[in-house]
Amino acid sequence: MLPKELERIIQLTKTHHKWRRTESLNLIASENVMSPLAEAVYGTDLMSRYAEGRPYKRYYQGTKYVDEIETLTMELMNRITSSKYCDVRPISGTIANAAVFRVLAQPGDEATIAPVQAGAHVSHTKFGTLGALGIKQVELPYDRERMNVDVDGARKVIERVRPKFAVLGGSLYLFPHPTREIAEIAHSVGARLVYDAAHVYGLIVGGVWRNPLEEGADFITASTHKTFPGPQGGAIFTNDESAYKPVSHNIFPWFLSNHHLHRLPSTAVTALEMMEFGGEYASQVVKNAKALASALVAQGFKVVGENQGYTTSHQVAVDVSKQGGGAKCAKVLEEANIIVNKNLLPDDPPERVSDPSGLRLGVQEMTRYGMNESDMQEIAVLFRKLLIDGQDVSDIRRKVLEMRSSFQTVKYTFPLEKDIVPTILALG
Ligand SMILES: *Cc1c(COP(=O)(O)O)cnc(C)c1O
């Protein structure tokens, strides 16, 4: 007899897959779906192998094809990022940050970060990776009006502190940080600028978000699975060979040994698809975010960032304090198969982290399934019916199922040619 837990784990996996892939509206801003082709090349023997070190300089045998796959993946990622050097080994954006931070600063050194209200990620802070590395966090001042880094204040802080590096880029990230200005100030005191593009990397590649390297950043760190619709992973980019070398030499063994090789072909496929379709995809993402923001306002919601047109990214931040707060609203939405996350808004005190006043929405995944501005209107109506009118959750869930049934195929992709796909099943 097979163990009953076996049946349960298989059933749970299938149910989760069906729910999140076919029955719900996913508006989590940090998630996406890969193309069928990128997914097909994910499930191969590479998932079981090691290739410690860098291509052609490995500590393991059996890597001759991995070397070429990794080299080609780096070449493609450099091409779409307009960068000279990259490392695709970080297994997540946090690991990418850790590797760069640790090379740029020693324990006890200082780094300036964007204000938490302007979206700084936990890995930039004393509570996360920066703190774990023993690097001291100095927060730059906040410009409340523009929901951004206060550049004049930042100049004073950076000139006084003379940090080893500055970090920009964020998690609740509606409007671009002043990269050119902070790069110039950081460089004037000999500091490097790290731009964490975890959320917006796909928008940069798609040409709708300024490329931080072109604005003076020394490094881009990224996740490869948020607006960039690849496998879960991280990447590091730079144009500066002297900055690249120590990161590339130290990431193994400092921050990983196995770099999860099966990500590499999927990352390469995604890069090629972004070359072909990335412009169209990214501009639809931003159009959809703007459309969702305006539609939510029209339905009676308070959307953050009004004085700047609500958003320039894939995200929308909604203040739902009048509708019972972020925790409650996110839960009600989930019952109706609309998946979002509760989020601290810039004016929330940090203690409100488990019951913040906001919701963070991201439209990138639904855009991949082919939704456009009129679908955003429809989503906003569902939000109103559920959170303002208090309509029955099961009615709204039925409407979500009906709506989602016309969006089942991922767009902006190459076709999946069954006979060329080396999935584990096809290989036998
Ligand atoms: C999501 C995120 C990260 C972490 O990325 P992981 O790939 O989840 O490790 C880092 N920085 C920012 C700004 C993020 O939003």
CA of 94 to the centre of ligand 1 (A): 6
Report d(CA 124, CA 197) in Å as an integer: 12
pLDDT per residue over 375-424, tens digit each? Answer: 999 999 999 999 999 999 999 999 999 999 999 999 999 988 766 655 55
Give the percent of the chain with pLDDT over 70.
97
pLDDT per residue over 239-282, tens digit each? Answer: 999 999 999 999 999 999 999 999 999 999 999 999 999 999 99
Asked, as a colleague might, if the bond just before 265 is cis with ω within 30 of 0, I would say: no
Q: What is the model's pLDDT at position 382?
A: 98
Q: Which of 123, 125, 179, 314 to mutate to test the pocket of ligand 1 (most atoms within 8 A of CB)?
A: 123
User: What SS3 class is residue 86?
Assistant: strand
Report d(CA 272, CA 274) in Å as an integer: 5
Give a yes or no: residue 288 inside a domain.
Answer: no
CA of 122 to the centre of ligand 1 (A): 8
CA of 11 to the centre of ligand 1 (A): 30
Q: What is the model's pLDDT at position 69?
A: 98
At residue 426 the predicted structure's pLDDT band, cuts being 50, 70 and 90, is very low
CA quadruple 194, 195, 201, 203: dihedral positive or negative? negative
In the predicted structure, residue 111 carries a pLDDT above the cut 50: yes
Distance of CA 262 to the CA centre of its chain: 19
CA of 386 to the centre of ligand 1 (A): 30
Of ligand 1's listed atoms, the one at least distance from the Cα of 233 is: 7
Of ligand 1's listed atoms, the one at least distance from the Cα of 171 is: 15
Of 52-56, 76-80, 224-228, 423-427, the poorest mean pLDDT is in 423-427
In the predicted structure, residue 116 carries a pLDDT above the cut 70: yes
Give the percent of the chain with pLDDT over 90.
95
What is the arithmetic mean of pLDDT over 233-242? 98
Kindly report the protein residue whose alpha carbon is nearest to atom 3 of ligand 1. Answer: 93
Of ligand 1's listed atoms, the one at least distance from the Cα of 95 is: 9
CB-based burial, 199-233: b 16+ in 10 Å, e otherwise:
bbbbbbbbebbbbbbebbbbbbbbbbbbbbbbbbb
Report d(CA 390, CA 119) in Å as an integer: 31
At residue 208 the predicted structure's pLDDT band, cuts being 50, 70 and 90, is very high
Give a yes or no: residue 199 inside a domain.
Answer: yes
Give a yes or no: residue 327 inside a domain.
Answer: no
Residue pair 361/320 in contact (Cβ under 8 Å)? The answer is no
In the chain, the number of structural domains is 1
Residues contacting residue 365 through CB under 8 Å, at least 6 positions apart: 26, 27, 28, 31, 32, 33
CA of 121 to the centre of ligand 1 (A): 7
Give a yes or no: residue 383 inside a domain.
Answer: no
CA of 216 to the centre of ligand 1 (A): 21
Give a yes or no: residue 319 inside a domain.
Answer: no
Of ligand 1's listed atoms, the one at least distance from the Cα of 224 is: 7
Q: What is the model's pLDDT at position 428?
A: 40
Kindly report the protein residue whose alpha carbon is nearest to atom 6 of ligand 1. Answer: 93
Give a yes or no: residue 7 inside a domain.
Answer: no
Q: How much is the mean pLDDT over the chain?
A: 96
CA of 31 to the centre of ligand 1 (A): 11
pLDDT per residue over 284-332, tens digit each? Answer: 999 999 999 999 999 999 999 999 999 999 999 999 999 999 999 999 9
Cα Rg for the chain, rounded, in angstroms?
22
Q: Which of 88, 94, 97, 129 to mutate to test the pocket of ligand 1 (most atoms within 8 A of CB)?
A: 94
Q: Which of 101, 199, 343 to mutate to test the pocket of ligand 1 (most atoms within 8 A of CB)?
A: 199
CATH code, domain with 100: 3.40.640.10
Q: What is the model's pLDDT at position 425?
A: 47
Give a yes or no: residue 108 inside a domain.
Answer: yes
Domain that holds residue 201: 39-270
| Ligand 1 pocket, residues with Cβ under 6 angstroms | 30, 92-94, 121, 123, 169-171, 196, 198-199, 223, 234
Give a yes or no: residue 291 inside a domain.
Answer: no
Amino acid in the structure at residue 350: P
What is the arithmetic mean of pLDDT over 128-141? 98
Q: Which of 125, 168, 223 to mutate to test the pocket of ligand 1 (most atoms within 8 A of CB)?
A: 223
Q: What is the model's pLDDT at position 416?
A: 82
**8-state DSSP, 345:** -
